[in-house]
Amino acid sequence: MKRRQLIKWGASSLAAGAGAAAGVSLAQGKMVWKASDVHPIGYPTVEAIQRMGKKLEAQTSGRISIQMFPSMQLGGEKEMIEQAQVGALQIARISVGAMGPVVDDLNVFNLPFIFRDEAHMRKVIDGPIGQELLDRISNSPQSKLIVLGWMDAGTRNVYANKPVTQPTDLKGMKIRMMGNPVFVETMNAMGGNGVAMGFNELYSALQTGVVDGAENNPPTLLAQNHYTVSKVYSLTGHLIIPEIFVFSKRTWDTLSQADQDLVRKLSREAQLEQRELWDKYVGDAEMKLKEAGIKFVQADKAAFYKATQPVRDKYGSKYAALIKRIEDTK
């Protein structure tokens, strides 16, 4: 073998090896990025990334494409973050709670009634506050991730077999909450007994009476069949927690400026498309739930807001300046 051919062969082998290390499938100069989500095909967060992949493929003439692994095929959020950090996965949709240890200010979004409603939440994440928080995650050496944008996860409300319109209605009720002290204490302040429990255990716990209810958005109530054992959906609106989608920094650093700019542009489009998909998805879910006999009841939000003030005082004092900026966002 001639020296020039040997050098060329060695260089191509190194390039292929680098691609494999980054979890990127390389074939004849093409890149196939892995994307993952805990939700199934058709769910708004999954659909938005798949659409982004089609645009990416079209605008790079097939040079870059995205392969989606939905329904926890590559593990839960913890596993997806770890895979993205080492470059075995390129795109992951994760909750802000998972990034709280990296950028502490993100934890403010976990406080009850931090947003007046979803429209207010969207104004905040679309504006300077949202961009600052994303930049801080991307610029943190600890994260090893580039944040591409926000995604909507709706409003969480209480569901059980009785209406919950006032804090007194929750007295003596065991309500499943996500395993975070802020969420458990939020339910305790709302008048119930917050129970931290894995999501995979919840259906049987509702069925057998281990818990009396839970809280989540309408699509989850429908998709997880919880509506078959909890017949009343009370619009408490106590939590509105946005989510983020991230890109592996290890892969990102190998991209040209033009490719990075294209990904950022398409990510912004994906953020807005996911929102449209989400609103339709929620509307369809609510219609199906009502058709299935689920009773939707209005709750006294002012009463629950007042009841949860101690939680905001306890956990929100160090975020006072940020909370003021959120409140001032119109």
What is the domain count for the chain?
2
Whether residues 136 and 249 share a domain: the answer is yes
Take residue 285 and report the two structure tokens written for it: 């879910």
What digits encode the pLDDT tens for the residues 23-37? 576 655 799 999 999
Instruction: Check whether residue 270 and residue 308 sit in a common domain.
Output: no
Q: Which residue has the tokens 């998909």?
A: 277
Determine the number of helices (DSSP H) and then strands (DSSP E) in the chain: 13, 12
What separation in angstroms does the CA of 179 have from each of 176, 186, 205, 224?
Answer: 9, 12, 15, 18
- Would you give the DSSP letter of residue 87? T
The CATH code of the domain that includes 308 is 3.40.190.170
Q: What is the pLDDT of residue 68?
A: 98
Q: What is the pLDDT of residue 13?
A: 38
pTM: 0.87
Q: Per the domain annotation, does 43 fall within a domain?
A: yes
Q: Which residue has the higher pLDDT, 194 or 101?
A: 194
Q: 219-264, pLDDT tens digit by residue?
A: 999 988 999 999 999 999 999 999 999 999 999 999 999 999 999 9
Q: How many CB atoms lie within 10 A of CB 124?
A: 21
What's the pLDDT at 28? Answer: 55
Residues 84 and 230 placed together within one structural domain of the fold: no
Are 203 and 60 in a shared domain? no
- If asked whether residues 60 and 139 sit together in one domain, one would say yes
188-201 residue pLDDT tens:
999 999 999 988 89
**For position 8, what pLDDT does the model report?**
39
The residues with which 247 forms a beta bridge, in sequence order, are: 91, 146
Which range of residues forms the domain containing residue 270?
24-152+241-283
In a domain? residue 41: yes
DSSP letter for each residue of 237-284:
EEEE--EEEEEEHHHHTTS-HHHHHHHHHHHHHHHHHHHHHHHHHHHH
